[in-house]
Amino acid sequence: MTEFPPAGFVPTPSAIPGIEVYMPAPVEATAQPEVAEFKCPQCQATTAYSVSDGGLRCSHCGYYEPPPKSIVGKGAEEFEFTVATMEVAAARGWGEARKEIACQNCSARTTLPAGELTHTCPFCGSNRVVQQDAPQDNLRPRFLIPFQITDAVCTQYVRAWLGSSWMTPKSLRDLASMARFSAIYVPFWTLDALTEADWKAEVGHQKTESYRDSKGNRHTRTVTVWRWESGHAQRVFDDLLVSGTTRLSNVLLKRLKDYRTAQLTPYDPKYLAGLMAQAYDVPLQAAWAAGREEMRAQTRETCRGQASTSQIRNFSMSLNFQDESWRYILAPLYVSTYKYEDATYQVMVNGQTGTVAGQRPVDWPKVWLAIAAMVAPGVLLGLLGLLLLVGVPPAGPIVLIVALVALVAGGAFAVGTYGKAKEMGDV
């Protein structure tokens, strides 16, 4: 060793005299003020994160500060479910306490609602990011996905989305009056795990056999033969996203989970300046329970998929989770409402990918007409078949069979259409 101690090592207590111990210097947690304020160094006006520029921008003098940190993507540090972390997370989450903050610009005092990470002073418009103490450092948001589409682009996406379904009123796209989009960082937990499962089930195999009836006539029939099968399945889950908030529609958030974690960036309050951000209110344990439920359901489907047929009974499996880890991240989301014929509808846009989810009014007469059209062929053919049974007996049964098939197919389409229409209004 030439240089001692090597660069980046600091002394640490030694339990034995005569032995010096040095450890790698802990990563400097940049001393963050509890409340970070953003002011232009040139004109002292308020700066905010500009999605289009990808950095801090002063709206007054045009000063620009580029984004502070580079993308780490899937290499972003993950944390294990250590006993210590779980105990702390169970004891108290982060962002529970309400904060009263004083604006350093105009001295106005504002009470910040629980779970809000950012604040814009309603009196002077200055932007602040609250960096509350977390009981454990890794329970702070350590990574985020920056906004990548602007609210103007969002409006275009939503307009296109409003006109994309035949079930909505024709005038929706043109007459909907859009409210302004609010950019908000929402909390997500990313979960990783490897699942290994052993399964066992009775699997049914169809077999055609012939038999003779009591009069000695030969017939064939299909019987199910059940055989035991077993197998082993393994699944890797990488960055399964579980929402960390209960304050936004979970139904809509689930449709927007196509976030690409390859764009993860180390957390910096500058990304939040002038935008809204929420801390998690779904604790780690609850998120992990939800994540596990999804993982085991998918693993179960993988196991069932290994069976030689889809006819399965007495299915059982044992499943082990391994290499479980998690991250707490913030993901970009645009939230807005629009009005149509005096009703207000909620809409959200993934701030990274532009995926849109929301409520849409359903043109029910149109939907019912479509459902009627789907069922009509079967009904009409059925009636025709009945008439033919009387008039042209040999053709009647054939038409009736065709009618039955058409009715079943039409009914299935009708149910699907109805479900889709109902889903449009769900939040």
Partner 1 sequence: MSDSTVPQESNPPAPSAWGVALESVRCPHCDWRYFAPPDKADIRCPHCFQADLTPLGEAAAQLPYRLPPEQWLPFAVDAATLNLSVETFAGGIPYAPRDLNGDALRARVQPLYLPLWLVDGNVTAEWSAEVGFNYQVVSHRERYADGGGWRTEEIHKDQVRWESRVGRLERHYDNVVAPALEDHPALERALGTYPLTNVRPYAANALSDALVRLPDRAPSAAWPDATPNFQAAAAEECRQAAQSDHIQKFRWSPKYTQTNWTLLLLPVYASYYLDDESAPQPVLINGLTGKITGARRASMQRAQRAALITAIVAVVLFALGLLLGILGIAAPPLLVFGILLAIVAFGGGAVGALLPIVRASRFNRKQEVEGR
Tell me whether residue 39 or residue 296 sits nearer to partner 1 (CB atom).
Answer: 296
Of 85-114, binders to partner 1 (CB under 8 A) are 86
- Asked if 290 and 254 count as a contact pair (C-beta separation under 8 A), the reply is no
Distance CA(189)–CA(145), nearest Å, equals 13
Binding mask 366-405 for partner 1 (x = CB under 8 A): ----------------------------------------
Nearest distance, CB of residue 65 and partner 1, angstroms: 36
Rounded CA gap, 405 and 204, in Å?
Answer: 26
In terms of Cβ atoms closer than 10 Å to its own Cβ (0-12, 13-18, 19+), residue 366 is middle
Contact track, partner 1, 144-173, x by CB under 8 A? ------------------------------
Residues counted in the chain? 427
Does 419 bind partner 1 (CB under 8 A)? Our answer is no
Place of tokens 């609250």: 130
Residue 162 host element (H or E): helix 151-162
* Residue 196: CB minimum distance to partner 1, A: 10
Nearer to partner 1, 295 or 403 (CB): 295
Give the N- to C-terminal CA distance of the chain in Å, as an integer.
64
CA angle 71, 51, 118 (to 5 degrees): 90
Cβ-contact 168, 162 below 8 angstroms: yes
Nearer to partner 1, 46 or 195 (CB): 195
Q: Which one among 69, 173, 300, 366 touches partner 1, defined by CB under 8 A? A: 300
- Distance CA(134)–CA(131), nearest Å, equals 9
CA distance 141 to 32: 14
Query: Measured from the CB of residue 86, what is the shortest distance to partner 1 in angstroms?
Result: 5
Q: Which is nearer to partner 1, 184 or 317 (CB)?
A: 317
Tell which one of 61, 286, 319, 424 touches partner 1 (CB under 8 A): 319
* 234 touches partner 1 (CB under 8 A): no
Q: Which H or E element spans position 410?
A: helix 395-425
Nearest CA among 39, 76, 78 for reference residue 59: 39
**CA–CA distance, 101 with 111 (Å, rounded to integer):** 6
Q: Please name the residue ranges forming H helices in 244-308.
A: 250-255, 284-306
- Nearest distance, CB of residue 266 and partner 1, angstroms: 22
Report if residue 313 touches partner 1, rule: CB under 8 A.
yes
Beta carbon nearer to partner 1, 26 or 75: 26
Candidate residues 7, 19, 29, 91; the one interacting with partner 1 per rule CB under 8 A = 19
175 alpha carbon, distance to own chain's centre? 30
Q: Minimum CB separation from partner 1 for residue 297, in Å? A: 9
What would you measure as the largest C-alpha separation in the chain, in angstroms? 111
Whichever of 93 and 378 has its CB closer to partner 1, that residue is 93
Q: Which amino acid is at 149?
A: I
Nearer to partner 1, 77 or 174 (CB): 77
The count of chain residues that interact with partner 1, using the rule CB under 8 A, is: 37
Per CB under 8 A, 36 contacts partner 1: no
Using DSSP's 3-state secondary structure scheme, residue 403 falls into helix
Q: Measured from the CB atom, is 21 or 372 closer to partner 1?
A: 21
Q: Cβ closer to partner 1: 16 or 91?
A: 16
Residues 15, 27, 29, 343: which binds partner 1 (CB under 8 A)?
15
> CA nearest 263: which of 356, 334, 352?
352
* Nearest approach, Cβ of residue 5 and partner 1 (Å): 6
141 touches 245 (CB < 8 A): no
Spell out, one character per residue from 69 to 88, where the chain touches partner 1: x when CB under 8 A holds, - when not: -----------xxxxx-x--
Residue 207 half-sphere exposure toward CB, CA atoms < 13 A? 11
Applying CB under 8 A, among 171, 309, 320, 344 the residue interacting with partner 1 is 320
With binding defined as CB under 8 A, does residue 305 bind partner 1? no
Tokens representing residue 198 in the block:
């052993």
> Which of the residues 276 through 295 are near partner 1 (CB under 8 A)?
292
Using CB under 8 A as the criterion, which residues of the chain lie in contact with partner 1 when the complex forms?
1, 4-6, 9, 12-16, 18-24, 80-84, 86, 292, 296, 300, 313-322, 324
